[in-house]
Each structure stands twice: as structure tokens, then as C-alpha cells.
Homo-oligomer: A and B are copies of this chain.
Amino acid sequence: MPSKPLPPITMDAVYAAPGYLFRRMQQIAVSIFMEECKAFDLTPVQYAALTAIHTHPGIDATRLSAVIAFDRSTLGSVIERLEAKDFVERKPAPEDRRIKLLYLTKPGVAILREIIPAVERAQARMLEPLKPADRKALTALLSQLVDLNNEASRVPLRAEDALERLGKG
């Protein structure tokens, strides 16, 4: 019996691999976001953090990381930068001295409102080369896949859990 032939080592195999396509698309998405939003000097992650803090004022860093699926360690420096720009405030929680509660400042709320059109332009541009029907199909498939693969990520999205506790506390 012949042994299974070794697959050829080619760049075409790399270019067709989902992992490569995801990395590449992420590069492109960040690039487009930064271009559209350069007047605001906010990164995609900083924008997501501002939105989450706006939606859940007084959230703490650990719960914020669960809401935006972002590593707890990295989030520290993200918040530091937002604090340095005076978009976010950290206040110690009275009932738990380990926790620091996060709030948007007035400039933070203002920039969040102002940046929205640029963010929407960026999101539209990412999919623009596709036909409208294909845009919907891609978004739906991606959305499904991210949801079904949630547990495979080291930092799964846990918005419900996080907010449930927030409500209880």
C-alpha cells in the first residue's frame, strides 16, 4: 500500500488558509479604521472600551474585559491611555477596595458621539468591495462562526455573565 503523499509546501496553500485570511482581513480592518478615525486619535479597541463604559457606567476592568472580549492584562494599559487623554475616570469602589470603577468623562462622551460617523464609514468601507448580498452573507457567517467558536478563544466573550454580576452587586 502506498503511503499518503505529503502535501506540497506552497504559498498558495498559505494564501487560501482561513487563518491567513483572518489575519490579513484584521490588518486591513485596522488600517481602514485608523484612516477614517485619524482625526480622533482612537484605536478600534479604545473605541470599543469607550462604548462599553458608556453603556455600563461604573463597570470594573475585569468585567469590561469580558464585555469586549479583551485580555485583562492588556486592558490595563488601554484604560491608562484613555485616562491620560481624559476620556475615562477610575474611581475606587467603596464596598470593595480591590475594584476601581470606570466612568466616561464629559470629553469622553463627546468624542464617542463625534466619532460615530467615522466609525460607520470605516465599517462600510471594509465590506464595500463586495456586492450588497455578499456583504450580508459574509457578516452573517462570520457572526455565526465567532459565536460558535467563542470558547476556543482564550478570552471568551462573557457579556451576560459579567453584566449579571454587575446588576447583582
Question: Which positions in A face B, CB cutoff 8 Å?
Answer: 6-7, 9-11, 13-33, 44-45, 48, 51-52, 54-55, 67-69, 112-113, 116, 119-120, 122-123, 125-127, 129-130, 134, 137-139, 141-146, 148-150, 152-155, 157, 159
Contact = CB atoms under 8 A, between A and B. Distances in A.
Given A20-B48, A69-B27, A138 B139 contact: no
Given A22-B22, A23-B29, A130-B144, 12 more contacts: A9-B113, A10-B51, A11-B51, A18-B126, A23-B26, A26-B26, A125-B152, A129-B148, A129-B149, A130-B141, A138-B138, A138-B145
A31 B129 contact: no
Contacts of A134: 141, 144
Nearest to A47: B14
Those 8 A-B pairs whose CB atoms lie nearest each other, nearest first: A129-B148, A26-B26, A21-B142, A138-B141, A22-B29, A28-B153, A19-B29, A28-B149
The quantity of this chain's copies bound in the complex is 2
B141 A69 contact: no
B152 A32 contact: yes
**Dominant secondary structure of chain A at its interface with chain B:** helix
A13 B116 CA distance: 11
A141 B145 contact: no
Contacts of A146: 21, 24-25, 28
